[in-house]
Amino acid sequence: MKAYKNMSRDELLTLKESLEKEFKVEEAKGLSMNMARGKPGASQLVLSMPMLDCINSKSDMNTLLGNDTRNYGDLDGIGECRQLMADMMEVKKENVIVCGNSSLNIMYDTVSRSMTQGVNGSTPWCKLDKVKFLCPVPGYDRHFKITEFFGIEMINIPMNEDGPDMDLVEEYVNNDAAVKGIWCVPKYSNPTGISYSDEVVKRFANLKPKAEDFRIFWDNAYCIHHIYDDVQDEILNILDECEKAGNPDMVYIFASTSKVTFPGSGVSAIATSKENMKYIMKQMTVQTIGHDKINQLRHVRFFKDIDGLKVHMKKHGELLRPKFEAVLDILDSELAGLEIGSWIKPRGGYFISFDAMPGCAKSIVEKCKKLGVVLTGAGATYPYGNDPEDSNIRIAPSFPTPEEMVEATKIFVLCVKLAAVEKLLGQ
Amino acid sequence: MKAYKNMSRDELLTLKESLEKEFKVEEAKGLSMNMARGKPGASQLVLSMPMLDCINSKSDMNTLLGNDTRNYGDLDGIGECRQLMADMMEVKKENVIVCGNSSLNIMYDTVSRSMTQGVNGSTPWCKLDKVKFLCPVPGYDRHFKITEFFGIEMINIPMNEDGPDMDLVEEYVNNDAAVKGIWCVPKYSNPTGISYSDEVVKRFANLKPKAEDFRIFWDNAYCIHHIYDDVQDEILNILDECEKAGNPDMVYIFASTSKVTFPGSGVSAIATSKENMKYIMKQMTVQTIGHDKINQLRHVRFFKDIDGLKVHMKKHGELLRPKFEAVLDILDSELAGLEIGSWIKPRGGYFISFDAMPGCAKSIVEKCKKLGVVLTGAGATYPYGNDPEDSNIRIAPSFPTPEEMVEATKIFVLCVKLAAVEKLLGQ
């Protein structure tokens, strides 16, 4: 394979002509595929259908403690579901509050509460002139939308292969009192797929925030979402590490079963220190009389315990693996050596992050769209939708079938090539 | 029956002695009953158990439009559930957003959004020196807790038998730009049980708010919660009336199935103008990827349509009626003519509101507690938990059995008498 940058103008022009021919052939097919969002595929949803039989009109609707899940009560979640989510999040049950169907909603509420009430007694953020959040990039667009919505200034932090650039994180957090938070997806990160090293987790736990109300928003969305049986990432327990470091209240951990059972009909949870929980419950008791406890019971009856959860996630992994491999194989075979893009092979999560030649991402996404393949918008993985390099593209292989993924990735690769050639030709 | 106030001191002392004897007898029984919260009773929960069979592993999980309820999508609710909730709320489907399990949560979010974002582009309330809400009293404690939580000043508005004192409401709303909202339970009001007259609804719709961001928070919690078949309250459609009056955006209507199916596992909805919906959706799209659509589908499959819903509510009414009547019969037979308390006989809803002799409510609640009957805390029906007359007590007859209600009401009546005698004796 000859790197495109080493090609002559004539070679590039010839290549362009042949790529454009291919493009026209694909365009004529009128395909329609979606690699935009981390949506589970149909075969994954089938895995959880038996859960819907676990609660029926003949079921015992009481919790282990004898509380009726059909009525008001258990604001912090039913005990057995708190235990299940605690085991999933690798924390203690007494540090867990089980909420509704969406961990994103808990994150939103956590930021919203900080805006109007402050954090554990601090000045409400809405009363401050300036509030800043650190945003490891590329990252999760919906995190950035929350902080943008509340007018919080977002600062890009580059992601390395073992987590965010911690020198920069420390510099900001330890010196700027306006820096109140950081968004993290510590395991199988969205979208890069990397997991934070022990050193990174420890450096997080040992931050010396200038702001007493600084918090780490630790979205452990993919904590049990492995793709392989043999190679699995594990990360250090941030709650323990923070406690050891004398920063027990510095972190909020979020997780849900949205990509375990059903997106929209799962259960979500927050894990944090007892002190933080006190303030969260003080708000939650005003916000709602309680979350959906029947659905919590449904989940517990289905999985029984963490072992049941792991067996279930293995099945998800088996369905996702061929889709990821389809993408990665084609990227490898078609793009290796061309020096027009790079990517990381993740061991879990929902995404493959692709870095195109700078200045090409928008063009690639647009070209793919013309051929019927919808990708996450270029720039979406950056705050304000602004990727300064116009390089990163998030590929979500979960929703299409493996066959469709092959088809879609071939189209993607074609567009990557064409965009690169056009760029090199100065077009 | 001789009114207590007309009794001589000796008569009162003799009465007190005999009441105290009764009190000791009851105390020895060591009862334990709860009339504190509007919780459906066990027999009511049984009514909705068949709903849990409506969705199982063999079910078609698609909406009528073919959307998979198991996956992300349909942020404003699945179409057929929007229709069902629209029919329940007597509004058009296109004015309804179906949300999660709690209408209280929608109200909280609505106030919270106004605090941080303003209302349809107005200045965020958190940036204002003073924000005020009108609170018809007695009212729903959880409404007042929301506005209290956000530091909003609450102003008591007396409730008449046809709704809030509208002279006062108009005076405040039309002249004070700091008045941004009013809490209303327009039908089978919590706790008085009265419904707003057509004139009251029209006067609401024709308010001329000084503040452009003034909104009516119309919590139609008991819209289909009749107790009787033959005498049922109906109220005017506030959304229509507001539109007619040239105030289309002035009202948010809330409702849920918490007291139709299962508290905590129902569905909730907000109905409002298209313009308001635009701003709500702008926020909701940041807050969550979507609500529990499987549970929405479960509700639709169970009820089919508004007629199914009405048949179901008739069964609830049949179960609640004897409980309400048990209380009302005993109040009538034991207290009529004594002039130590008054009450309204509701035709729906969840509560009986009792006005004791001024200065007696706390004492009655305390005495009941000693005898094992838990009532809503005295004062809870007022902002800041402060009933200036110390008079109102909310009785929630739904949770105990009818037999328990008889027992509990006898105890309640005993405590009302004893508290009145003590008061009249200046003790």
Nearest CA in chain B to A107: B287
Question: Contacts of residue B140 in chain A, CB cutoff 8 Å?
Answer: none
Complete DSSP assignment for B126-178: GGSS--EEEEEES--HHHHHHHHHTT-EEEEEEEETTEE-HHHHHHHHHH-TT
Which amino acid appears at position A304 of this protein? K
Q: Which of A264, A307, A216 is nearest to A105 (CA)?
A: A264
Nearest CA in chain A to B58: A49
Question: Contacts of residue A112 in chain B, CB cutoff 8 Å?
Answer: 112, 116
Residue A263 to residue B72, Cβ atoms within 8 A: yes
Residue B108 to residue A286, Cβ atoms within 8 A: yes
Question: Contacts of residue A294 in chain B, CB cutoff 8 Å?
Answer: 52, 262, 264-265
Question: Contacts of residue B259 in chain A, CB cutoff 8 Å?
Answer: none
Nearest CA in chain A to B55: A52
Who's near A263: CB < 8 A, 6+ residues apart?
Answer: A39, A40, B70, B71, B72, B289, B290
Residue B10 CB neighbours (<10 A): 8
What is the model's pLDDT at position B37?
85
- Reported residue count of chain B is 427
- The 3-state DSSP class for residue B327 equals helix
Question: Contacts of residue B291 in chain A, CB cutoff 8 Å?
Answer: 101, 264
- Asked whether the predicted pLDDT for residue B191 surpasses 80, the reply is yes
The 10s digit of each residue's pLDDT in B98-143 is 999 999 999 999 999 999 999 999 999 999 999 999 999 999 999 9
What is the model's pLDDT at position A19?
98
Which member of A52, A117, A149 has the closest CB to residue B57? Answer: A52
Which member of B127, B287, B291 has the closest CB to residue A264? Answer: B291
Q: How far apart are alpha carbons B222 and B103 in whole angstroms? A: 12
Which member of A37, A115, A286 has the closest CB to residue B149? Answer: A286
Question: Contacts of residue B295 in chain A, CB cutoff 8 Å?
Answer: 265, 292, 295
Query: Would you say the ipTM is above 0.95?
Result: yes
Picking from B62, B76, B294 by the largest number of A CB atoms within 10 A of its own CB, the best residue to mutate is B294
What is the model's pLDDT at position A44?
97
Residue linked to tokens 């290796």: A336
Residue A263 to residue B290, Cβ atoms within 8 A: yes
Nearest CA in chain A to B113: A112
Picking from B60, B287, B376, B399 by the largest number of A CB atoms within 10 A of its own CB, the best residue to mutate is B287
Burial call B240-270: b when 16+ CB within 10 Å, e when fewer:
ebbbebebbbbbbbbbbbbbbbbbbbbbbbb
Beta bridge partners of B184: B218
Which member of A37, A39, A59 has the closest CB to residue B52? Answer: A59
Measured in angstroms, the CA of B302 and the nearest CA of chain A are apart by 12
Residue A265 to residue B55, Cβ atoms within 8 A: no
Beta bridge partners of B134: B155, B182
Nearest CA in chain B to A113: B112
Residue A108 to residue B288, Cβ atoms within 8 A: yes
Q: Which of B373, B399, B362 is nearest to B26 (CA)?
A: B373
Measured in angstroms, the CA of B134 and the nearest CA of chain A are apart by 18
Contact B198, B162 (CB under 8 A): no
Question: Contacts of residue A109 in chain B, CB cutoff 8 Å?
Answer: 287
- Asked whether the predicted pLDDT for residue B1 surpasses 80, the reply is no
What does the pLDDT profile of chain A (427 residues) look like in tens digits? 799 999 999 999 999 999 999 999 999 999 999 888 889 999 999 999 999 999 999 999 999 999 999 999 999 999 999 999 999 999 999 999 999 999 999 999 999 999 999 999 999 999 999 999 999 999 999 999 999 999 999 999 999 999 999 999 999 999 999 999 999 999 999 999 999 999 999 999 999 999 999 999 999 999 999 999 999 999 999 999 999 999 999 999 999 999 999 999 999 999 999 999 999 999 999 999 999 999 999 999 999 999 999 999 999 999 999 999 999 999 999 999 999 999 999 999 999 999 999 999 999 999 999 999 999 999 999 999 999 999 999 999 999 999 999 999 999 999 999 999 999 999 8
Q: How far apart are alpha carbons B120 and B107 in whole angstroms? A: 16
Residue B72 to residue A265, Cβ atoms within 8 A: no
Residue A420 CB neighbours (<10 A): 27
Strands A132-137 and A179-184: parallel
Q: How far apart are alpha carbons A179 and A214 in whole angstroms? A: 7
Question: Contacts of residue B72 in chain A, CB cutoff 8 Å?
Answer: 37, 39, 263-264
What is the model's pLDDT at position B307?
98
Nearest CA in chain B to A110: B287
Residue A290 to residue B263, Cβ atoms within 8 A: yes
Reported confidence tier of residue B243, pLDDT bands at 50, 70, 90: very high
- Mean pLDDT over B274-280 rounds to 98
Residue A42 to residue B68, Cβ atoms within 8 A: yes
| H runs (alpha helix) in B30-75 | 42-47
Measured in angstroms, the CA of A349 and the nearest CA of chain B are apart by 17
Measured in angstroms, the CA of B127 and the nearest CA of chain A are apart by 8
Picking from B289, B316, B376 by the largest number of A CB atoms within 10 A of its own CB, the best residue to mutate is B289
Question: Contacts of residue B45 in chain A, CB cutoff 8 Å?
Answer: 61, 68, 70-71
Residue B70 to residue A264, Cβ atoms within 8 A: yes
Q: Which of A151, A38, A102, A6 is nearest to A398 (CA)?
A: A38
Share of chain B above pLDDT 70, in %: 100
Nearest CA in chain B to A68: B42
Under 8 Å CB pairs connecting chains A and B tally to 167
Question: Contacts of residue B126 in chain A, CB cutoff 8 Å?
Answer: 115-116, 124, 126-127
Reported confidence tier of residue B427, pLDDT bands at 50, 70, 90: confident
Longest dimension (CA), chain A: 78
Picking from A51, A105, A148, A257 by the largest number of B CB atoms within 10 A of its own CB, the best residue to mutate is A105
Q: How far apart are alpha carbons A113 and A278 in whole angstroms? A: 13
What is the model's pLDDT at position B39?
93
E strand segments, B250-307: 251-256, 268-271
What is the model's pLDDT at position A36?
87
What is the model's pLDDT at position B36?
87
Picking from A39, A43, A72 by the largest number of B CB atoms within 10 A of its own CB, the best residue to mutate is A72
Quote the mean pLDDT of chain B. Answer: 97
Which member of B51, B116, B293 has the closest CB to residue A265? Answer: B293
Q: pTM of whole model > 0.90?
A: yes
Tell me the three-class secondary structure of chain A, residue by residue: CCCHHHCCHHHHHHHHHHHHHHHHHHHHHCCCEEECCCCCCHHHHHHCHHHHHCCCCCCCCECCCCCECCCCCCCCCCHHHHHHHHHHHCCCHHHEEECCCCHHHHHHHHHHHHHHHCCCCCCCHHHCCCCEEEEEECCCHHHHHHHHHCCCEEEEEEEECCEECHHHHHHHHHHCCCEEEEEECCCCCCCCCCCCCHHHHHHHHCCCCCCCCCEEEEECCCCCCECCCCCCCCCCCHHHHHHHCCCCCCEEEEEECCCCCCCCCCCEEEECCHHHHHHHHHHHHHHCCCCCHHHHHHHHHHHCCHHHHHHHHHHHHHHHHHHHHHHHHHHHHHHCCCCCEEECCCCECCCEEEEECCCCHHHHHHHHHHCCEEECCCCCCCHHHCCCCCCEEEECCCCCCHHHHHHHHHHHHHHHHHHHHHHHCCC
Measured in angstroms, the CA of A325 and the nearest CA of chain B are apart by 23
